[in-house]
Structure 1
Amino acid sequence: MITAVAKFLAGLVATLGVLIVIARLAFPLPEIENRQDTQALPPTTEGALAQALAAQEEAHAGQTGVAPLQNGADAFAARILLADAAVSSIDAQYYIWHDDLTGTLLLGALRRAADRGVRVRLLLDDNGTAGLDPELAALNAHPMIEVRLWNPFNLRRFKMLSYGFDFFRLNRRMHNKSFTVDGHATILGGRNIGDEYFATGPTALYVDLDVLAVGRVVADVSADFDRYWRAGAVHPAGPIVGAPPEGDPLAARLAGLEREPQLEEYRQILQSSDIVTALAAGEFGVEWTTAQLVSDDPIKGQGAVPREDLLASRLADAVGKIEHRFDGVSPYFVPGRAGVEAYAQLGAQGVQVRMLTNSLEATDVLPVHAGYAKRREEMLRSGVELYELRQQAAVAAPTDRIGPFGSSGASLHAKTFAVDGARIFVGSFNFDPRSTTLNTEMGLLIDSEVMAQGLHDAFDADLRGLAWRVELEGGDLIWKDPQTGAVTTDEPGTTLLKRLALTVIGWLPVEWLL
């Protein structure tokens, strides 16, 4: 009986192997041929943005100016207005670009810039481009726009089926997010491009955080974009998405938005915002300081790299010794055994460690919560203080802000941490194995007492009741409302089916994928 089963399994594995080989031969990626790898243009000396920043850049030579973009609508307006002010170049790099209201409006802004003679380079992870092939093909046909895709999928319809025969390549994604204009200003942080990241639309909204940076670090971001633009995992979009369709798919999509009720609201936001004038007048809240770009080597998109070359290792070196406090925010928090040990070591050294992540009721990725939940008790016993963002109906979300990471929403998406009231990191990096070893990531480590202390203050205030405080009481987990003192022993948002799923996923050897 055992021999028969073994033969059956061996035959099944062999058959699957043959099918995978056939599929890879039948659906190959186009060869990368005659690719011209352009470089970032030097900072322009002309245009409204250059003029607005000239005096400040001269007065703060060698420094970086940073301003947090906490509100989703403001973060959207900043990108549109910078694109509309561009006179030389726009380099945009994103993990997700949705085909919704904000995604379409931003594509329109890129094309308007190109029509004025601005060179546009758009680098997208192909995992997040669903439904956009016609628009990307049309944009790529514009003489001033070039679109490239990171680890593109072999199949354009039913894209996810490509994982069945090219899993290990497609499992490595580009999670970076940056938007750089005229070599003078860049926006980077946690936000992708889509309605849920900019506080609009019918889907769950995200609590997120970006920073606008000007000055010294912009050149580093541009150089980093160039590294990714010429990476081996990057393909010109033309052979992937095909020839541009007849007509103008982007114009048609923009025309269809005229019926969207949110469009008028965003027009009003744009009309009332003037980032260039505010920068020129010193009224945008820019803090001049030092900031360091930390990013993965894009070779990570083609396979494993030495641990010392990972962003996580470089970031730890850049942060240096933590003396007193570490407060972190990560929507997808899967510390693994090594992370638990690292937090325990910090606690043993007298460092207060506090983490905010999504609660079960707020998360949008149940398996990731399972990876966190299996380590939750270990972390609490080692002294880590845990908070879980409570689910809030978008229409009931308060308009005031939680320190440096925005107003309450349905799901946490910001990725940030503060150290010793002196430094703060803002970027795309989650505290999970996927960000550490599989996806490429980037972010800024900023010397800012104001921003770092703002995050510490938010934790000191127990996040103003917007998160559950998770504790151990008598060996059992409890969820406490810090403001009212109310306690529940049932995990908020739990059901029998979810508890079963969390348990089963926790048993599986999939932590490295989360």
Structure 2
Amino acid sequence: MRHGYFAGWTVRWLTAGTILLCIASGCAKLPDNSALVPTTVISATEQTHLATLFADDKKEHPGQSGFYLLDNGLDAFVARAVLVLAAEKSIDLQYYLYHPDLVGGLLADLLLQAADRGVRVRLLLDDMGLEGRDINLFTIAQHPNISVRIFNPFIRGSSRVSQFITRFGSVTRRMHNKSLTIDNQATIVGGRNIGNEYFAADPELAFGDMDVLAIGPVVNEISNSFDSYWNNPLSYPVELISSQKPDPEALERARPLLDAYTKRPEAQQYVQALKNSQLARELKNDVLPFSWGKAVAVYDDPEKISAALDAKDLHLATQLNPLVNELSSEFLMLSAYFVPGKEGVDFFKKLQSQGVQVRILTNSLASTDVAVVHCGYAKYRKELLRAGVELYEVAIDALPAGKKKQQVFGGASKASLHAKSYIFDRQILFIGSFNFDPRSADQNTELGIVFDSPELGRKIGKRFDERKSTNVYQLRLVPDNYGGEDVEWVRKEGGREVVRRVEPDTSFFKRLLVSVMALLPIESQL
């Protein structure tokens, strides 16, 4: 899910009162953060349970890291929970969104239990989804072993809408990174935020997503990345910006509320999976089938948020250039939000001209959770198809209504693709938070892991090949009645090929709205 400048709200009309509020809020300031106390990764963790658990595996693969794909929402939660339960020294969490729902409550309860055991917990959250929630974070930060910092915060006491105007170019740039690292021995990096829809707990909405659980040398690189953000001046301790006053009893009152999450009927699938699932057993018994290979963490410098947009030396995308330059046969992309722009179209054309087949899976207008982003993609479809790029869009009705739908590249996708994964020649993979769009490339900060694994590259590629004609629409160009070309959507249904000539599963009014939004000069913010 995405909450950029135009994502949560498309267009707001400013009344005279709002304009006055904007002017007034421009006088407000963030508190002085110069006394920020830096902390760094606890590196002396060689004697922890996780270190000894994975010691033999790492010894057999010197210099390499191990990877396990988490492309199922339930497994993605179980992996996080098992690692948090095993923590002895430190837990570092960095997320764009952390929802106060079932999954968020279950994880918070586990974090509190870890802190009670003496584990140091550092929680770093972007401020985009935290409006009105300072009291929750302030309460849990009362624990002596838990620290909470908020990255690039909005000014408290001032309207957020007004700050989108007065602080445009500042609060519109967000920390989109997502990682959970335990004892500097294991990390989970990928596309998932913390919330029901990312872990198959929301009956109305499920995101198809992908994370990777990693062990080995790359974990320390993720820890170093976390430290660079945690100690950045844009990371504010929640107690510094919160208007709440210390309440020694608040944390004790919160304990039974968090514990109650585990008693809810809807939580039982997670409670039971944590006890009995195959993944939980394999992880606890060190028989998880890791794939091994060289790996590197790639991430934006946190200074990107305040630097000029053309400061490319701070950007994650620049670090991927060597992989692109070495492509020989295929570039497979899974990107929830895809806005290539003119530069991206030229990039894909160049790859095609060099004999590299570009294949892209993204959301359809019906499956996307942010329709305004779709307008930044749709206008480039014809040019990409003319160049030979294969375009695929997620279908939302692959199975009859009421039936559980099949997994589509990273989880139970009832509604929307959320994964951000890139596979180079079915050998090298990037999994992380980076979408192929201007917001990820230039505005927000992102994080991911690049790893060499022909085994996983072939696995994802094969899955794509098997499902591309049934679970997704393939786009094709056909002549129209006026000497031009139209896009059509093709998919097999019931063993026969079905062709649609308008955006599938959408209303006329939704298509009209997106057409109108496409006229707005907002592509750089998508």
- 1:57 correspondence with 2:69: no
What does residue 109 of structure 1 align with?
110
Name the SS for the 2:224 alignment partner: helix
Decide whether the 8 Å contact of 2:26 with 2:163 is kept in 1. no
Decide whether the 8 Å contact of 2:25 with 2:162 is kept in 1. no
- 1:505 correspondence with 2:517: yes
Q: Which moved more, 1:463-472 or 1:316-325?
A: 316-325
Decide whether the 8 Å contact of 2:45 with 2:184 is kept in 1. yes
Decide whether the 8 Å contact of 2:109 with 2:259 is kept in 1. no
- What is the alpha-carbon distance in structure 2 between the residues aligned to residue 97 and residue 468 of structure 1? 32
Change (3 A) 1:365 1:199: same
Change (3 A) 1:297 1:451: same
Contiguous gaps of at least 5 residues in structure 1:
1-11
Letter in 1 for 2:257: R
Task: Give CA-to-partner distance per residue, 1:162-188, whole Å, 9 cap, x none.
Answer: 323322211010000010001100000
Map residues 288-327 of structure 1 onto 2, 5 A cutoff. Answer: 288-305=292-309, 306-327=311-332
- What is the alpha-carbon distance in structure 1 between the residues aligned to residue 132 and residue 455 of structure 2? 41
What does residue 270 of structure 1 align with?
274
What does residue 286 of structure 1 align with?
290
**Which TM-score applies when normalising by structure 2?**
0.90
What does residue 80 of structure 2 align with?
79
Q: CA deviation at 1:107?
A: 1.1
- What is the alpha-carbon distance in structure 2 between the residues aligned to residue 13 and residue 408 of structure 1? 40
- The match for 1:346 among 343, 351, 374 is 351
- 1:24 correspondence with 2:34: no
What does residue 176 of structure 2 align with?
175
What does residue 5 of structure 1 align with?
none
- What is the alpha-carbon distance in structure 2 between the residues aligned to residue 385 and residue 308 of structure 1? 31
Name the SS for the 1:35 alignment partner: coil
Change (3 A) 1:115 1:15: closer
What does residue 397 of structure 1 align with?
404
- What is the alpha-carbon distance in structure 2 between the residues aligned to residue 381 and residue 318 of structure 1? 25
Q: CA deviation at 1:501?
A: 1.7
Residues paired across the two proteins, number: 500
- What is the alpha-carbon distance in structure 2 between the residues aligned to residue 18 and residue 161 of structure 1? 9
Change (3 A) 1:101 1:368: same
Output the aligned Cα RMSD: 2.4
Change (3 A) 1:251 1:488: same
- The match for 1:489 among 501, 505, 508 is 501
- What is the alpha-carbon distance in structure 2 between the residues aligned to residue 156 and residue 244 of structure 1? 19
Q: CA deviation at 1:261?
A: 2.3
What does residue 9 of structure 2 align with?
none
Letter in 1 for 2:522: V
- What is the alpha-carbon distance in structure 2 between the residues aligned to residue 146 and residue 314 of structure 1? 31
Q: Which moved more, 1:39-48 or 1:257-266?
A: 257-266
What does residue 129 of structure 1 align with?
130
- What is the alpha-carbon distance in structure 2 between the residues aligned to residue 244 and residue 487 of structure 1? 62
- What is the alpha-carbon distance in structure 1 between the residues aligned to residue 343 and residue 25 of structure 2? 38
Decide whether the 8 Å contact of 1:208 with 1:413 is kept in 2. yes
Q: CA deviation at 1:489?
A: 0.7
Change (3 A) 1:131 1:85: farther
What does residue 258 of structure 2 align with?
254
What does residue 479 of structure 1 align with?
489
- 1:212 correspondence with 2:219: no
Decide whether the 8 Å contact of 2:178 with 2:433 is kept in 1. yes
Q: Which moved more, 1:308-317 or 1:202-211?
A: 308-317
- 1:224 correspondence with 2:222: no
Name the SS for the 1:443 alignment partner: strand
Decide whether the 8 Å contact of 1:125 with 1:149 is kept in 2. yes
Change (3 A) 1:203 1:128: farther
Task: Give CA-to-partner distance per residue, 1:27-68, whole Å, 9 cap, x none.
Answer: 321110421110100141333212211212222221100000
Letter in 1 for 2:156: L
Task: Give CA-to-partner distance per residue, 1:464-509, whole Å, 9 cap, x none.
Answer: 5111111111111111114531111121133222222222221221
Q: Which moved more, 1:159-168 or 1:249-258?
A: 249-258
Decide whether the 8 Å contact of 1:327 with 1:455 is kept in 2. no
Letter in 2 for 1:398: K
Change (3 A) 1:13 1:35: same
Decide whether the 8 Å contact of 2:303 with 2:314 is kept in 1. no
Decide whether the 8 Å contact of 2:36 with 2:233 is kept in 1. no
Name the SS for the 1:51 alignment partner: helix
Change (3 A) 1:156 1:452: farther
Map residues 420-459 of structure 1 onto 2, 5 A cutoff. Answer: 420-459=425-464
What does residue 415 of structure 2 align with?
410
Q: CA deviation at 1:156?
A: 6.1
What does residue 10 of structure 2 align with?
none
What does residue 7 of structure 1 align with?
none
Q: Which moved more, 1:485-494 or 1:337-346?
A: 485-494
- The match for 1:388 among 393, 401, 407 is 393
Decide whether the 8 Å contact of 1:332 with 1:358 is kept in 2. yes
- What is the alpha-carbon distance in structure 2 between the residues aligned to residue 318 and residue 309 of structure 1? 18
Q: CA deviation at 1:279?
A: 4.1
Name the SS for the 1:169 alignment partner: coil
Q: Which moved more, 1:87-96 or 1:446-455?
A: 446-455
- 1:332 correspondence with 2:308: no
Q: CA deviation at 1:201?
A: 2.1
Task: Give CA-to-partner distance per residue, 1:295-352, whole Å, 9 cap, x none.
Answer: 1010012232512431111112244321110110011000001111111111111111
Decide whether the 8 Å contact of 1:304 with 1:437 is kept in 2. no
Q: How many percent identity over aligned positions? A: 41
- What is the alpha-carbon distance in structure 1 between the residues aligned to residue 197 and residue 205 of structure 2? 6
What does residue 4 of structure 1 align with?
none
Name the SS for the 1:127 alignment partner: coil
Q: Name the structure where helix makes up a greater proportion of residues.
A: 1
Q: Which moved more, 1:175-184 or 1:299-308?
A: 299-308
Decide whether the 8 Å contact of 1:423 with 1:452 is kept in 2. yes
Name the SS for the 1:485 alignment partner: strand
Decide whether the 8 Å contact of 1:458 with 1:464 is kept in 2. no
Decide whether the 8 Å contact of 1:90 with 1:179 is kept in 2. yes
- What is the alpha-carbon distance in structure 2 between the residues aligned to residue 417 and residue 147 of structure 1? 32
What does residue 162 of structure 1 align with?
163
Task: Give CA-to-partner distance per residue, 1:184-214, whole Å, 9 cap, x none.
Answer: 0000000000000000123410000000000
Decide whether the 8 Å contact of 1:44 with 1:50 is kept in 2. yes
Change (3 A) 1:441 1:319: same
- What is the alpha-carbon distance in structure 2 between the residues aligned to residue 76 and residue 471 of structure 1? 38
